[in-house]
Each structure stands twice: as C-alpha cells, then as structure tokens.
Amino acid sequence: MKSIIVSENEAGQRLNKFLNKYLNEAPNSFIYKMLRKKNITLNEKKASGSEKLERNDIIKLFLSDETIDKFSNNKFKKVHANLNIIYEDSHVLFVNKPAGILSQKAKDTDVSIIEHILSYLVESNQLTLNELQTFRPSICNRLDRNTSGFMIAGKSLLGLQVMSRIIKDRTVQKFYRAIVKGNVKEEKYLKGYLVKEEKLNKVNIYSKSISNSKYIETKYIPVYHTEEYSILEVELITGRSHQIRAHLASIGHPIIGDDKYGDAKVNLFYKKHSGINHQLLHSYRIVIPQLEELPNLSNKEFIAKEPEYFAQFYKK
C-alpha cells in the first residue's frame, strides 16, 4: 500500500489527472477499474476520479510495489547542473542561459535548460524524484538556442502560474541587447506584421496586414555605435517568434552572426576576426509589474549580464 499526501503544488487538479501523472504508464481503464474497486481511495473513501484535490488530501493506492513500479516511469534525465542564477526564492528561479543551450528539448536525447534546472533542484534537495512524478517545475519563457540571457522558471505551481500570466498579458517588460550591422544613432519604434513559414522555421516582415499575419511592435535605443556596428537595447513589445531578429533585418540592421536573417559577408568577417558563430542577441533585462501574489518580486528590475564576448564590441 502506498499513501500520498497532496502537496500545495499538486492541489487544484482532478484526481484522475494526478493519477495519470503518478501512474503515467497505466492505461485509463486500469486507473478507473482501481477506483471502482476501491483499490485507490481519496481520504479513505471511494472516488470517481473527478474530485478536485486539496492540500493535505490523502490518496491511498492499495497496489503492490511491483505494480506501482510497473506503471510509474520517471523520464527525468539528470545532468550535472550548470546554472548562472540571477535570482531565486521558493516560487521562482531566474537564470542567465548561455548561447547554444536549448530552452526545451526537441527530441528525447536533447539536454535543455529545463534538465539543468531540474537537476539543480534535485541536487540542492529542493525537489525529490517522487515529487517530479506529479509536479514538474518548468520555464515560462523561451529563447532561441543561440540567443543567450534571461530565463524565468517557476519552482512552485503559484510561481509558474503568475510568471506565465504576466508574460502572456505582456505586463512584464522585456529588454534585449543586440549587436547589429550599421551605425544606428537614434531610437526607433517599429511596427509591422509577421508571417511565419513553418516548413522553413523562418518569418517574414510586412508593413501591412496580410493573410495569417500577426501584428508586432519593437522598440530600440542605441547604447553604443560605430560606423560598422551598433549595440542596441531592444524592448520586445509583442513577443513573436524571431521577432527581433527579423524586424531589425527588415530595416537594414541585421544582428551580427545571425545565419538566418543576417548579412553573410558581415557574419563571415566577425567569425574570422572575433570568433562569432551565432547571433549576438542577449535577453538582458526584465521589469516585473505589481504582483499581489508574489510581493517580493513586485516592481523589481533584474539583469542578466551580457556574455563576455560582448565586451570586445565596446571600444575604449
């Protein structure tokens, strides 16, 4: 017999959803059969599976250890956690992702920033493998593989819900640093329309709305400029796939190192002379709005330091 006390992170979901996670290899027919036969109970009573769980509810599995092991498969891939932590509390974890690391896995053999975060939480005894079966901390925003910088992860259900909400409703301000081709001397507020080509994983920018287009806004301010290149602080007003990269390229200032939207000759030059082999785009700063649920984060600014290779572009 296995007894499970529902935690705060597990509360709020239906019993059958919880059991689908805990016995993730079991067919639904097995789970409902065990509920009907009272081999699985909730608070010592027969349950249908539709009950909404509350904190400290007790779920009992009158099953053998062999049966539980057979139907439980924790696919967590532990790695040696290597994180640059910006901020952490009991609900959230902010990290500075290096370029070259995936935000999330594209296939089972991949290792993403999520695996590093989960491994860190397990190694630091903030999370157990059993807890991972029914609640999995995760990231709330995504960055392209070769874009470095600020990533927001929710460690608790509340943290995940609140951070995901402020990203979705765009009340969190997000700023990037981009090193682009050309001499940019003035700030600018760009508006346009974006259409994604799914097969090519590429987007196109248009000045007017067309079929399947999505409205975008991008604001930038130059923080440093030379005749050859400029360093911009870019505010992402709308958050579309490849928005910054494609929007800047559309006005003749592609990001250096960007092999999809950039200038091939410029990219080759900086690869030979500076060792740059990916786009120089970094998620640099966020400003959190007023949050009643997470007052420690309210109205605060957090910065993910630029990668060391950015320093060579600030001439003395």
Residue whose pair of structure tokens reads 């779920």 in the numeric block? 59
What phi and psi, each to the nearest 5 degrees, are found at residue 178? -130, 135
**Is 144 an annotated catalytic residue?**
yes
What is the rounded CA–CA span in Å between residue 146 and residue 282?
9
Taking only Cα atoms into account, the Rg of the chain, rounded to an integer number of angstroms, comes to 24
What phi and psi, each to the nearest 5 degrees, are found at residue 279? -65, 140
User: Active site residue: 89, 108, 144, 169, which one?
Assistant: 144
Task: Give strand ranges (E) for the chain.
Answer: 2-5, 40-42, 45-46, 58-61, 85-88, 92-97, 138-139, 148-154, 173-181, 188-197, 202-206, 214-225, 229-236, 281-287, 301-303
Indicate the residue type of 134: T
The answer to whether residues 278 and 257 touch, using CB atoms and an 8 Å cutoff, is yes
What is the rounded CA–CA span in Å between residue 215 and residue 231?
25
> Dihedral through CA 246, CA 221, CA 286, CA 121, nearest 10?
60
The answer to whether residues 144 and 260 touch, using CB atoms and an 8 Å cutoff, is no
The answer to whether residues 286 and 301 touch, using CB atoms and an 8 Å cutoff, is yes
What phi and psi, each to the nearest 5 degrees, are found at residue 283? -75, 105
What is the rounded CA–CA span in Å between residue 63 and residue 311?
60
Any bridge partners for residue 174, and if so which? 286
- Give the residue numbers marked as catalytic: 144
